[in-house]
Structure 1
Amino acid sequence: MSAVAPQLPAPDFDAIEAGTTAAGAVAGRSRIPWRFLGGRALFYLFTLWAAITINFFLPRMMKGDAVTAYLARNRNVTPEAAEALRALLGLDTDTSLWQQYLDYWGLLLRGDLGISLLHGMRPVTEVVGQSLIWTVALVGFATLVAFAIGTIGGAIVGWRRGSRLDALIPITTFLSTIPYFWLGLVAISVFSVALGWFPIGKAYGVGVKPEWSAEFIGDVLHHGFLPAATIIIASLGGWMLGMRNMMLTVLDEDYVTVAQAKGLPNQRVLWRYAARNAVLPQIQSFALALGFIVGGTIVMEVVFSYPGVGKLLLDATNAKDYALMQGVFLVITISVLLANLLADVAYAFLDPRTRQTEA
């Protein structure tokens, strides 16, 4: 009986790297998991339909409506004008709820989110778009900075476990447990009222004309520094603790031990083997955080009087402005679903085990 000669790996094939979760096998790296991605896309389309349906029916289950709240603020509106407003907002009592639902889908497919009574009959897309810019710019930047600092810092703390750097974990965790409204009020009291370094609130100063100029951009950065800093401080502990715990788990894996035994530089073992695998759960959390960026931090926007989507949603809910509520909810829902879909795509390419669902 003749023995079969074993097949040796290619000269440029790194068995340690191929054995890691993040790197995967060389043969499967170029394969696109179409079945997995298609299944996830169908799931998110169904979720989007369910969210839009709930978005339509939920406000109509609330007591009162936008026209009733508008009439309470404007006593001089005639009954005929009130009926015209109901018809314009899709709240006509002569139209069945099912027909209103179909009309709502027809408007959505044409990109029409209705008009907002709270903002003087302006289109909802225009109102939401203006607030969305401020929220994404502030909360998005703060979330990205917190994720980067927390992930890199957590990887270094986990790599140097047992050192003095471990003291960063309880400090950042303690700061993240402080109620945000209290943290924001303390920041305003110290840095705005006592020291006078930063404005108390708003996105830019009174009398400043919004335009692409150095004066306006500097004023926006000056107003946004304090709320952005409080968001970073409040969320840094979670990112750092999560990455540090995953690093402690990954450092006990065999491929890390073998890489160190081969005499590879510590920096390469840290970032190419250990951190590269430990960061995978962080990606999912970061995708969720990106989705909720659009929703904004309502407490932050209320404390700092910031004109973001979160405060817009709160004002729309208090005024029972159905169209504006539905527009904000729709934008938040789509952003969360897209963020989750992007996370699934990233996982499919970074973690070869995800592709096994195709089999």
Structure 2
Amino acid sequence: MYLLRKLAFYLAAFWAAVTLNFLIPRLLPGNPVDILIGKLAQQGPVAPGTRDSLEMLLGSDTSESLWSQYVSYLSGLAKGDFGTSVTYFPAPVTDVIGQAIPWTLLLVGISTLLAFLLGVGLGAFAGWKRGTWVDSIIPATALLQSVPYFWLALVLVYFFAVNLGWFPLSGGYDVNSVRPGWSWEFIESAISYGTLPAITIVVSSIGGWLLGMRNMMVSTLSDDYVVTAEAKGLHPVRVMITYAARNAALPSVAGFAISLGFVVAGSIVTEQVFSYPGIGNAMLLAVSNNDYALMQGLFLVITIAVLVSNLLVDLFYGLIDPRTRTRN
């Protein structure tokens, strides 16, 4: 019953997100067909029937009713057809997303996971050692959370890329000497180009996880079951991990679900600073060019990622905290 309730809720949320994803771009000012015709006009005269052809191609036929457009939109989604991108015309939106999403998943996904694990682990240890020198460094690490992404990224680029030359300045890989593929040369190049953006994301986000876990750990250590475990003479490591950290990590796990879902969205500012070919960079270009089809596709992929990650973490949350499954 618990699983059915969760599935019903997320299915309803998915339908609402799909409907809003259809309506919002159509309520915004501007028309992608006008933008594309403007680009074509720069190259020469545009034929009279071009507008009708582009409206059919981009799914922007204003002669159809809103309901007919909605049905066509759902039919296209069921077939995996998100339309044609204006920014990367004539590439389909699915191709654009398919090329960008692996870069973001690897960069932002790994960086977010590392920041979470390091932050929660160090926060649990700092909370356990409250009042010591370990606990005194928490304010310094928490200060990193308030540092803007773009400022930290620019500082790291200046010192480690421009002055020291340890890392490449921008891009996802060396386009001059390496071809994309499952070769060690490409993987090594991608790691080299992705290290500095990953450090930016980890350093900027680890402070929040660390501070939140430390505070929850301090609060949990005063609970009766932890005091009882210590009074029984259990090993301190067992008390810290099994009794204190397991329960103190519950709010962090819930927060990690949200951040994990937005991994697909990427870090727009960081990707822009490093010219990284991920979802964030594609989204910024889509917004700049009023590319509604690409925006819809990106927003839908992000929505699905957020809903799926929250569902999985909700189920995992029920395993580590059985009290959540015993609602009346």
> Which TM-score bucket, shorter chain as reference?
over 0.9
1:116 aligned residue (64, 75, 85): 85
Q: CA RMSD in A?
A: 1.1
Query: Is residue 46 from structure 1 mapped to residue 9 from structure 2 by the alignment?
Result: no
Aligned counterpart, 1:18: none
Aligned residue for 1:196, secondary structure, equals coil
Q: What TM-score do the two structures reach when normalised by structure 1? A: 0.88
The answer for the alignment partner of 2:104 in structure 1 is: 135
| 2:39 aligned residue | 73
Tell me what 2:114 maps to: 145
In the TM superposition, 1:1-359 aligns within 5 A as: 35-75=1-41, 76=44, 77-207=46-176, 208-357=178-327, 359=328
- Which TM-score applies when normalising by structure 2? 0.96
Q: 1:355 deviation in Å? A: 1.4
- 3-state DSSP class of the match of 1:74? helix
The residue number in structure 2 matching 1:30 is none
Name the SS for the 1:91 alignment partner.
coil
Q: Distance in 2 between matches of 1:307 and 1:79?
A: 36
Identity %: 50
Deviating runs (4+, > 3 A) in structure 1?
none
Q: CA deviation at 1:119?
A: 1.2
C-alpha deviation, 1:206, in angstroms: 2.6
Residue 16 of structure 1: aligned partner = none
- In structure 2, give the amino acid aligned to 1:249: S
CA distance in 1, matches of 2:186, 2:136: 40
Which structure has the higher relative contact order (CA within 8 Å, separation 6+)? Answer: 1
SS at match of 2:59: coil
Whole-angstrom distance in 2 between the partners of 1:291 and 1:168: 30
Task: Write out per-residue CA displacement over residues 10-43 of structure 1, whole angstroms, 9 at most, x where no aligned residue.
Answer: xxxxxxxxxxxxxxxxxxxxxxxxx222112111
User: Which residue identity lines up with residue 160 of structure 1 in the other structure?
Assistant: K
In 1: Cα distance, 2:3 partner to 2:47 partner: 55
Describe the SS at the equivalent of 1:202: coil
Q: Which amino acid aligns with 1:138?
A: L
Q: What secondary structure is seen at the aligned counterpart in 1 of 2:262?
A: helix
Q: How far does residue 259 in structure 1 lie from its aligned partner after superposition?
A: 1.0
Return the offset for 1:117: 2.4
Give how far 1:120 is off. Answer: 2.4
Aligned length: 324
Paired position in structure 2 for 1:27: none
Amino acid in structure 1 at the alignment position of 2:81:
D
Structure 2 Cα separation of the partners of residues 275 and 143 of structure 1: 20
Cα shift readout 1:143-181 (whole Å, capped 9, x = no counterpart): 011111101100000000000001221111111111111
Give the C-alpha shift of residue 221 in structure 1: 0.5
Structure 1 letter corresponding to 2:143: F
Which moves more between the two structures, 80-89 or 326-335? Answer: 80-89
**CA–CA distance in 2 between the matches of 1:168 and 1:133?**
36
- Judge which range, 218-227 or 108-117, deviates more: 108-117
Amino acid at match of 1:99: S
Query: 2:215 and 2:167 mapped to 1: Cα distance?
Result: 36
Deviation at 1:277?
1.0
Tell me the CA shift for residue 69 of structure 1.
0.8
